Amino acid sequence: MSNSSLRLDGDRGRRVDITVDGMPCSAFEGETIAGALFAAGRAHSRHTPIRDAVRGYYCGMGVCWECALVVDGRPNVRACMTLVQTGMRIETQAGFGPPMAP
């Protein structure tokens, strides 16, 4: 099985175009950010604040916060709990991420 087939075969419905760290990426309606990233062969979401260690999707149910990343400039968005939307800008989170807009 190659990376391109991590999505199971079948009609996935409407395509949703997003960007991941500036690169265009295709996802499908109903997928979470985590699902779209894993399907693209990418498991990481962030670099930790203290050790700059790379982390990603671990519990898959919103509990561990390891998959937190930056979405449309907003930090600490959980990839596993957030559905993709057209035009979403997804970025790897560095540390605590960019400051929140007031």
Partner 1 sequence: MTATIDIAIIGAGPAGLAAARQAARHGASVLILDDNALPGGQYYRQAASPALRQIARDVFDESERAAPLLEALRDARVRYLPEATVFALFPDGVLAYVRNGQTESVTPRSVIVATGATERPVPFPGWTLPGVIGAGAAQNLMKSQRVVPGCCILVAGNGPLALLAAANLVRLGASVVEVLEAAQSRSPWRHISGLVREPAILLRGIGYRTTLLRHGVPFRDGHVVVEALGRDRVEAARVAPINADGVIDHNRARVLTVDTVVASFGLVPAVEITRALGCEHRYDAGKGGWTPLRGPDLQTTKDGVYAAGECSGAAGVEKALLEGELAGAAVALRLGYDAAEASVTMRRVQARLARLERFRAAIEALYVPPSSFSALLTDDTIVCRCEEVTCAEAQRRLDDGATELNSLKAVTRMSMGRCQGLNCLPTLARLVAERTGRPLADIELPRPRPPMRPVSLASIVAEPGAGDVESR
- Interface contacts to partner 1, rule CB under 8 A: 1-3, 6-14, 28-32, 34-35, 38-39, 43-45, 48-51, 53-66, 68, 80-81, 83
Which residue type occupies 88?
M
Q: Which is nearer to partner 1, 24 or 51 (CB)?
A: 51
In whole angstroms, how close is the CB of 89 to partner 1 at the nearest point? 20
Compare residues 87 and 95 and give the one whose CB is closer to partner 1.
95
The minimum distance between CB 81 and partner 1, in angstroms, equals: 8
The residues, ordered by sequence, that sit 6+ positions from 18 with a Cβ below 8 Å of its Cβ are: 24, 25, 26, 27, 36, 84, 85, 86, 87, 88, 89, 90
How far is it, in rounded angstroms, from Cα 28 to Cα 32?
9
Q: Which two tokens stand for residue 99?
A: 């400051």
In whole angstroms, the minimum distance from the beta carbon of 26 to partner 1 comes to 13
CB closer to partner 1, 12 vs 89: 12
Residue pair 75/94 in contact by the 8 Å Cβ criterion:
no
Minimum separation from the CB atom of position 19 to partner 1 (A): 19
